[in-house]
Structure 1
Amino acid sequence: MPDIMGEYVDRLVTVEMRNRGMNYGIVRQIYDAARAEGGGRPISARAAEALVGAVKPGDVVFIVTGAGYYPEVPNGESDGPPGAASLARAIYWGLKAIPVFVTEECHAPPVVASAKAAAVMVRDFELAKTRRMGGALITAPEDRSITADWAERIVTEYNPKAVIAIERLGPNDQGFVHGSTGVRKDCVDLGHVFLAAQRRNILTVGVGDNGNEIGFGRIYDFMRDFHPYGRECQYEGGTGVITTIATDVFLPASISNWGAYGITAMIGFLLNNREVLQTPEMERKILEACLDAGGWEMRYCTSRFIVDGTVGESSMSIVQLLGDMLRLNLAEPDRGLSHGVMKTAKVPEAAE
């Protein structure tokens, strides 16, 4: 059953909707490459199973997000924080664990606002750990020279059982972080958190949508050849936008938020708990909270009700469809009144 639901969850969150001025006509091929590399099973099902298997009540889970920078979107974009909030909801209310957001200081306001709208309060870590009062937040140091040591320290100190990236940009083979169309970004390299986790055999999961996000290193060679900016940038000497940072499980989606929602739905299925997935009405509140806190839509760099060029109602519809899939798959088998009595499986006779 997980693979049956996961198949259609994956199909839903990889429906491509992009303007032709951006990299388009690529999501299906990227998804197919990632699925084949991962063994062929639906990726949302694999990610959810890995998280449910690794994370127990009281454990810590890092959720790393944040894309978009000054001057266009000084507090980041509306793709990332809502997906992080959705997974935090599943981790907190479903797995009874402690979601800890890891991000840059500039991205913190929309991350915190999105989490609050998803009914996950961001509190002091000790309250979250000892009193089960929501999740917590870690912001990266501004001094880039100490990022690697800082990442080692927080992974050691917090001892997460999983580290998840949602729309978090990662470095290429030169150590530079880029936007998806080859523009270099001046930001903290949070890929170090994943490298520190992997050295300790901690589960890592990535969700991205355009090659430059953490996780795409899983299909690095394919992306280098396939992506329009796989081997070049919008400046001389750039070697492409594809990140080298891989994760244990990687789900490419049409919009990263949607991929996170798909994993949340699959966690709900595995836990037999419909409540972990936000409702469409809550999704509206999450998106609006993110936008109001400065996590603007990236296409026009405004607070319009848009995520990656798609209207907010489209994200609400994705959540509606995922919620109905979850409801129907968790319901007791029932043909209704018009289809007659269900067949019962024949039980083999016991051998004498």
Structure 2
Amino acid sequence: MGEYVDRLVTVEMRNRGMNHGIIKQIYDAARAEGGGRPLSAQAAEALVNTVKPGDVVFIVTGAGYAPEVPNGESDGPPGAASLARAIYWGLKAIPVFVTEECHAPPVVASAKAAAVMVREFDLAKNRRMGGALITAPTDRNQTKAWAEQIVEEYQPKAVISIERLGPNDQGIVHGSTGVAKECVDLGHVFVEAKKRKILTVGIGDNGNEIGFGRIYDFMRDFHPYGRETQYPGGTGVITVIATDYFLPASVSNWGAYGIAAMIAFFLKNQDLIQTPEMERKILEACLDAGGWEMRYCTSRFIVDGTAGESSMSIVQLLRDMLRLNIAEPDRGLSHGKMKEQA
């Protein structure tokens, strides 16, 4: 199951004006560095084995900024919502979204469309009424202390990043094409989690997202902006933040869907994955709340240049793979008896 989930979510679909022809090589490097097993299966298995009912799981997301996309982009919040759905309904844990204030509206809207309501933490923790939300301080000088404080207060058992930009070796956060971003560094949450030996998972699609630190040296040499930026003196866009488990995908949302599908596989529950119809609602909710498609900064039904229907199709294929893999063996009426295996 994990082998073909990984293949599905790494099918590259990119305009040649952007970084392209890179996902297979990045995935191969990440898989080799990660020990050779399918990456979606590794991450999901770790979550299933670590997270217990009532535990808190941080889901960190948010990319894209004003003036282009003041509330962020459509890649990230839907994937976060899908993972929250599997974590809440499957693992019976409390998903807590961690993001910047500007990215909160699409995150909350996506989660609601995925049937994970965002409530006050007390209601989520003590009465199991959905997930919760934490927003970062706007002052970058406060982020490190804030990260230490929320990890201490909420005691997460796992911290997951989906399409969240991380700092390079100069401590600067970049877009994938070498443009520096004026934003807070949520990589501090992962640094603090590592100190406390908390499970971390990263999902990204272009080298600048948290998790890519696992294959930092490879990405520096391979990525078009691995060693340079669009301004003088920059040392490249690749983040130094590594995670315990890391899945590069063609679209970050798809990587999150793949891990959610593998959680559902281990729990033998197809309903943990959204239907294609729900996927449409999630994407539309994200877009309507300001999480726009990033190419032309509009509310078109698009994610990272791919039509929304492509994301719906990915979900359908994942659900069918899951359905067939967890079903009881059945040859139907036309295939005769199955050969007995030793």
TM-score normalised by the chain length of structure 1 = 0.97
Which residue, 265, 268, 271 being the options, matches 2:267? 271
List runs of 5+ in structure 2 lacking aligned partners: none
Which residue pairs with 2:80 in the alignment?
Answer: 84
Provide the rounded CA distance (Å) in 2 between the counterparts of 1:258 and 1:209.
10
- Secondary structure in structure 2 of the residue aligned to 1:178: coil
Over 6 Å off, 4+ runs: none
Provide the rounded CA distance (Å) in 1 between the counterparts of 2:202 and 2:265.
20
Which residue pairs with 1:50 in the alignment?
Answer: 46
Give the deviation of 1:345 after TM superposition.
3.3
Q: Please give the per-residue CA displacement for 1:45-79, whole angstroms capped at 9, x wherever unaligned.
A: 00000000110000000000000000000000000
Which residue, 108, 112, 122 being the options, matches 2:118? 122
Q: 1:133-144 to 2 correspondence within 5 Å?
A: 133-144=129-140
Which residue, 214, 219, 222 being the options, matches 1:223? 219
Which residue, 331, 335, 338 being the options, matches 1:339? 335
CA RMSD for the aligned pairs? 0.5
- Secondary structure in structure 1 of the residue aligned to 2:202: strand
Identity percentage of aligned residues: 86
Provide the rounded CA distance (Å) in 2 between the counterparts of 1:54 and 1:330.
22
Which residue pairs with 2:200 in the alignment?
Answer: 204
Give the deviation of 1:341 after TM superposition.
1.1
Give the deviation of 1:136 after TM superposition.
0.1
Which residue pairs with 1:349 in the alignment?
Answer: none
Give the deviation of 1:143 after TM superposition.
1.3
Which residue pairs with 1:350 in the alignment?
Answer: none
Give the deviation of 1:252 after TM superposition.
0.2
Q: Please give the per-residue CA displacement for 1:137-185, whole angstroms capped at 9, x wherever unaligned.
A: 0000111111001000000100000000000000000000000000000
Which residue pairs with 1:321 in the alignment?
Answer: 317
Which residue pairs with 2:186 in the alignment?
Answer: 190
- Secondary structure in structure 2 of the residue aligned to 1:165: strand
Q: Please give the per-residue CA displacement for 1:298-351, whole angstroms capped at 9, x wherever unaligned.
A: 0110000000000000000000000000000010001111100122334xxxxx
Which residue, 256, 260, 263 being the options, matches 1:260? 256
Which residue, 30, 33, 36 being the options, matches 1:37? 33
Which residue pairs with 2:7 in the alignment?
Answer: 11
Provide the rounded CA distance (Å) in 1 between the counterparts of 2:274 and 2:187.
28
Provide the rounded CA distance (Å) in 2 between the counterparts of 1:304 and 1:22.
19
1:308 and 2:304 aligned: yes
List runs of 5+ in structure 1 lacking aligned partners: 347-352
Give the deviation of 1:186 after TM superposition.
0.3
1:109 and 2:105 aligned: yes
TM-score normalised by the chain length of structure 2 = 1.00
Provide the rounded CA distance (Å) in 2 between the counterparts of 1:339 and 1:300.
52
Q: Please give the per-residue CA displacement for 1:168-219, whole angstroms capped at 9, x wherever unaligned.
A: 0000000000000000000010000000000000000000000000000000
Which residue pairs with 1:179 in the alignment?
Answer: 175
Provide the rounded CA distance (Å) in 2 between the counterparts of 1:8 and 1:338.
27
Which residue, 240, 243, 249 being the options, matches 1:247? 243
Provide the rounded CA distance (Å) in 2 between the counterparts of 1:29 and 1:335.
38
Between structure 1 and structure 2, the one with the greater Rg is 1
Which residue, 128, 131, 134 being the options, matches 1:132? 128
Provide the rounded CA distance (Å) in 2 between the counterparts of 1:289 and 1:343.
49
Provide the rounded CA distance (Å) in 2 between the counterparts of 1:153 and 1:77.
28
Q: Please give the per-residue CA displacement for 1:249-308, whole angstroms capped at 9, x wherever unaligned.
A: 000000000000000000000001111100000000000000000000001100000000
Q: Please give the per-residue CA displacement for 1:12-69, whole angstroms capped at 9, x wherever unaligned.
A: 0000000000000000000000000000000000000000011000000000000000
